[in-house]
A and B are shown apart, each in its own frame.
Chain A
Amino acid sequence: MKRNENKSGLSNLLAKPGAQSVIASLICILGGLLVGFIVLALLALFDKDIPFYDAISGFFTVLGGPFSAGNGKDVLFQMGNMLFSSTPLIMTGLSVAIAFKTGLFNIGAPGQYLMGAMGALIVALSIPTTVVPSWIVWILALLAGTLLGVLWGAIPGFFKARFNVNEVIVCIMTNWIAANVVSWVFKATSEQFVNYAETKVNFIRKTVTNGVSTATFGLDKLFGGSYMDISIFLAAIIAIVLYIVINKTTFGYELKACGYNKHASKYAGMNEKKYIILSMAIAGGLAACGAALWCLNGAQDFKWDTYQTLPADGFNGIPAALLASNNPIAVIFSGIFLKYLNVGGSNLAAQTSFNEYVSSLIVAVIIYFAGFSKFIRELLIRRKKENGKEKKKADVFLRPTSVLAEGVIEEPEKTSGEKLSDLQSDGADTAAEKANETAPKTEKEADEK
């Protein structure tokens, strides 16, 4: 059998998994933007007060993010705030991504985030900086927050490993437990932590009041007096370290092995339960660390009566991870990108007759589309394999499991690995299988003849 050699440059590019992920994410973003534009256009059409031209200019305002702020100083200011506020989102994105790598869906990031914020704030505000140098307090606070998140994340991990309770259920419960614990702790200790100096209500004192704040190295001034500090760089470093851990170390090898196939991991002598707990604990630590970095900026107001709402950055870690195909380094960019659109959205509200809800809607649609990135990637792979000639129907028929989001839905226990992958390989993979079987050895057989 001969192999076809006529591959175009594009199909070569499509063959690379990395490129497929990037293209899939771009398609999601474009889809989201398109729907966003349609919404803007419809609003402009039906609302007499909004000229249609606003739909187009508004669209580019969203697309411009901080760049649509107007003058250079405002652009820098918005840019600084965008980068700063990306930090917690990147961290929760990493949190979700690493859990996905072990086949777990960490929807508990909001709770871990809250615990991290609480731990960091309590330490940062209760150790007097007159006694202990403020940079040591800063480090202690960061560690305290992270550690609390580690413990909080380990809870669903433990239940999953020990009793096989679905981590999603435990995560959702621990989210609300965390929200209530945080409210309860701060209510009980209100004298010490709650901000009464300003007229605002329900906020914890800023950590800068105790002299604790993240180093800025003049970045805040560089970015027009924004909140910008070095936390985004810390997040980026953590992402890179995580990338190395997952892809280059034996620990990462074990984590992924347990995620892909816990039975085979057990067979190979790994303690698969340990890695489930560890993975969730690390995920919890990452989300909490993000919250701590946000609080320790010093100038942030933390609203302590959290029992009614969960922090959006916790949940938005999921689209950040999905958009990045769970690649830690890509999470840096997807996190910044989501905040970029947020900034664009507030500019839309400020500069045009659209209100801020429209911008939230556009961001929401993009996030929604991000959920399809895996699906779109599968489509790309399929198209590549079938050369665009095959009927999609047949393929969907033969690959019932292909649409499952990675790790979100578990493969049914009783379907043995054999059955499952036979189902998959029967269809679109047959070609590849055949290639494997015969192609590389043709010379050998020729010799035999």
Chain B
Amino acid sequence: MNTDNNVKLTETAETSDYPYVIEMRNITKDFPGIIANDNITLQLKRGEIHALLGENGAGKSTLMSVLFGLYQPEKGEIYKNGQKVEINDPNDANALGIGMVHQHFKLVEVFTVLDNIILGIEPNTAGFLRKKEARRKVVELSHKYGLNVDPDALVEDITVGMQQRTEILKMLYRENEVLIFDEPTAVLTPQEIGELMHIMKGLAAEGKTILFISHKLNEIMEVADRCTVLRKGKYIGTVNIADTTKEELSSMMVGRSIKFSVDKKEAVPGETVLEVEHLTVKSKLHKKNAVNNVSFSVRAGEIVCVAGIDGNGQTELVNALTGLEKAEAGSKVIFCGEDITKKSIRYKNTHGISHIPEDRHKHGLILDYSLEENLVLQRYFEPQFQNHGMIRFGEVRKYAEDLIDKYDVRSGQGAVTTTRSMSGGNQQKAIIARELDRNHKLLVAVQPTRGLDVGAIEFIHEQIVSSRDAGAGVLLISLELDEVMDLSDRILVIYEGEIVGELDPKTTTVEELGLYMAGAKRQKTKGGDAE
């Protein structure tokens, strides 16, 4: 599909009452070997929510770094209210009223919210802080925009959502008019996302201009007024959200049309692969059990999804199954008729359990190893890859290139690329390739598509379904309701470490699922009879 014919904005530059707060015209930014931004134009109207959409690596972050003064463009100019400006560092950007909420917050954890907000521009008399005044202003702003932040709480004690609102307050306190949100929803729970959307609308209504960087189409459709799409460093177009559809946006973003629902045949469950009985795992965070007396089973050829709000014991459940954490006495994990509760991780790896871990950087990959070294992470000791303790690098290379080809893992230098330099989507593809290529009867996939763009999500969903169709049992842990509904054959809802319901995705609704996830509803199931 050719997207270049899409709506392009015609410039009508009037010097008086100039319509655009910020204009970035024809920005080109080169990196050695690559043009990250190729002649990109971005125009922000006052009081609008403008989305910047693009796949991982489309050039969104680079463009924002240019606007924020972190990079200098080779070509192109930036205008503020029609006046040409030079932005050489973040201080210049701040002075122009441009503020940014970074994806990973820049807060001092041991400071209070108030201290974080005034950090860098502390009101003082002869070096003595005058916090009272600052506090009043912060409370006022917090009320005005419905941010609901306690200025005296320590940052390390508050939720991620509240930390984000602290970042927003930081920008408001500095009286910024242009607020950049870099993938703000990636770290939030569904409820917090709803709140954030509400806050963003409120800010826009008060005349602030918001630039919203995202690759989540639903959120853009919900909150944005206009959307600029980038693809591979190039400007594709700017559209009014009211005149477009999710499908159109996605095809602009990836250059082809995307299936949103997963194509899959009816499941044909076979014999039971995994049988979990009375699994209990202690929590490291609180005194209660993270997983409390949970029992369920997974059969060959079906995708069982454990749905729930983040932090309800999913991580501990998986860790206990795969061996990363110890289960309490009385727990039983039976895999293909064999009790593997106390078996080592190596044993589980080599006897047919594949595991796509939740945190791909912490557990999934050794980022300083090359791609090929990561692809044999659980197999380097097999006779195919070693001979008397010496690694057979030729074989490793051959195997890796095979997998890279088969799973379309893209990287700068192929098999020898340092994994750290690869994009998140391709890192995840590498893990998928490694885990699915190993002989497995059970696939444990934890948030396999987290933080990925639609193209990669589509691919990974296909792979999981084809693994199921090949006869593996799949245990999927997901926080994304769409993914849960689309992919699973059976849904188990986990709430506070207990399975509170078993649902059929064909007969249930998202709303009902939500009630179970929030703990408002529960069934009497075999796992739910605790205490």
Chains A and B come from one and the same complex:
yes
- The interface residues of chain A lying within 8 Å CB-to-CB of B69 are 394
* Docked-complex contact B389 and A267, CB < 8 angstroms: no
* Docked-complex contact B232 and A1, CB < 8 angstroms: yes
Asked whether B35 is an interface residue with its Cβ less than 8 Å from the other chain, the reply is: yes
* Docked-complex contact A435 and B359, CB < 8 angstroms: no
- The interface residues of chain A lying within 8 Å CB-to-CB of B408 are 441
Residues of chain B in range 312-370 having any CB-CB distance to chain A below 8 Å: 322, 324, 344-350, 355, 357, 359-369
* Docked-complex contact A261 and B367, CB < 8 angstroms: yes
Known: A421-B420, A423-B104. A264 touches B70 (CB 8 A): no
Q: Provide the B369-388 mask, 1 if CB < 8 A to any CB of A, else 0.
A: 10001000110110000100
Known: A250-B381, A269-B344. A441 touches B410 (CB 8 A): yes
By secondary structure, the B interface counts as loop
* Docked-complex contact A437 and B56, CB < 8 angstroms: yes
Asked whether A16 is an interface residue with its Cβ less than 8 Å from the other chain, the reply is: no
* Docked-complex contact A416 and B362, CB < 8 angstroms: yes
- The interface residues of chain A lying within 8 Å CB-to-CB of B71 are 390, 394
Please report the C-alpha to C-alpha distance between residue A119 and residue B52 in the assembled complex, in whole angstroms.
68
By the criterion of a CB under 8 Å from any partner CB, how many residues of chain A are at the interface? 61
Asked whether A438 is an interface residue with its Cβ less than 8 Å from the other chain, the reply is: yes
**Most chain A CB inside 10 Å of its own CB: which residue of B256, B408, B411:** B411
A386: which of B31, B357, B360, B410 is its contact (CB, 8 Å)?
B31
* Docked-complex contact B369 and A267, CB < 8 angstroms: no
B360: which of A2, A260, A418, A449 is its contact (CB, 8 Å)?
A418
* Docked-complex contact B56 and A264, CB < 8 angstroms: no
Residues of chain A in range 412-449 having any CB-CB distance to chain B below 8 Å: 416-427, 429-441, 445, 448-449
* Docked-complex contact B364 and A264, CB < 8 angstroms: yes
- Min C-beta distance of A369 to chain B, whole Å: 25
- The interface residues of chain B lying within 8 Å CB-to-CB of A421 are 361, 367, 420
Asked whether B289 is an interface residue with its Cβ less than 8 Å from the other chain, the reply is: no
* Docked-complex contact A436 and B426, CB < 8 angstroms: yes
- Min C-beta distance of B235 to chain A, whole Å: 13
Asked whether A48 is an interface residue with its Cβ less than 8 Å from the other chain, the reply is: no
Please report the C-alpha to C-alpha distance between residue A431 and residue B380 in the assembled complex, in whole angstroms.
31
Asked whether A384 is an interface residue with its Cβ less than 8 Å from the other chain, the reply is: yes
Asked whether B528 is an interface residue with its Cβ less than 8 Å from the other chain, the reply is: no
Please report the C-alpha to C-alpha distance between residue A1 and residue B412 in the assembled complex, in whole angstroms.
14
* Docked-complex contact A391 and B89, CB < 8 angstroms: yes
* Docked-complex contact B57 and A438, CB < 8 angstroms: yes
- The interface residues of chain B lying within 8 Å CB-to-CB of A24 are none
Known: A1-B34, A417-B362. A248 touches B391 (CB 8 A): yes
Q: Provide the A1-28 mask, 1 if CB < 8 A to any CB of B, else 0.
A: 1111000000100000000000000000
* Docked-complex contact B380 and A253, CB < 8 angstroms: yes
Please report the C-alpha to C-alpha distance between residue A250 and residue B392 in the assembled complex, in whole angstroms.
9
Asked whether A385 is an interface residue with its Cβ less than 8 Å from the other chain, the reply is: yes
Known: A398-B70, A434-B233. A250 touches B380 (CB 8 A): yes
By the criterion of a CB under 8 Å from any partner CB, how many residues of chain B are at the interface? 74
* Docked-complex contact B365 and A248, CB < 8 angstroms: no
Asked whether B61 is an interface residue with its Cβ less than 8 Å from the other chain, the reply is: yes
Please report the C-alpha to C-alpha distance between residue A429 and residue B256 in the assembled complex, in whole angstroms.
27
Asked whether B65 is an interface residue with its Cβ less than 8 Å from the other chain, the reply is: yes
Please report the C-alpha to C-alpha distance between residue A264 and residue B291 in the assembled complex, in whole angstroms.
23
Asked whether A217 is an interface residue with its Cβ less than 8 Å from the other chain, the reply is: no
- Min C-beta distance of A98 to chain B, whole Å: 16
* Docked-complex contact A261 and B389, CB < 8 angstroms: no
Asked whether B466 is an interface residue with its Cβ less than 8 Å from the other chain, the reply is: no
Extra contacts, 19 of them, besides A385-B32, A448-B255 (Cβ < 8 A), are A1-B34, A1-B232, A1-B234, A11-B32, A268-B377, A270-B346, A390-B72, A397-B70, A416-B359, A416-B362, A417-B361, A425-B421, A430-B36, A431-B34, A434-B423, A435-B33, A436-B423, A438-B233, A438-B410
- The interface of chain A, by Cβ under 8 A from chain B, is 1-4, 11, 248-251, 253, 256-257, 260-261, 263-270, 384-387, 389-391, 393-394, 397-398, 416-427, 429-441, 445, 448-449
Q: List 30 A-B contacts (CB under 8 A).
A: A1-B34, A1-B232, A3-B33, A4-B32, A11-B32, A249-B390, A250-B386, A256-B369, A264-B362, A267-B363, A267-B364, A269-B346, A386-B31, A391-B70, A391-B72, A397-B90, A417-B367, A418-B359, A418-B361, A427-B70, A431-B33, A432-B34, A433-B57, A433-B423, A434-B233, A435-B33, A436-B57, A436-B422, A437-B56, A448-B256
- The interface of chain B, by Cβ under 8 A from chain A, is 2, 30-36, 38, 55-57, 59, 61-62, 65, 69-72, 88-90, 103-104, 232-234, 255-256, 322, 324, 344-350, 355, 357, 359-369, 373, 377-378, 380-381, 386, 389-391, 393, 408, 410-412, 414, 417, 420-423, 425-426
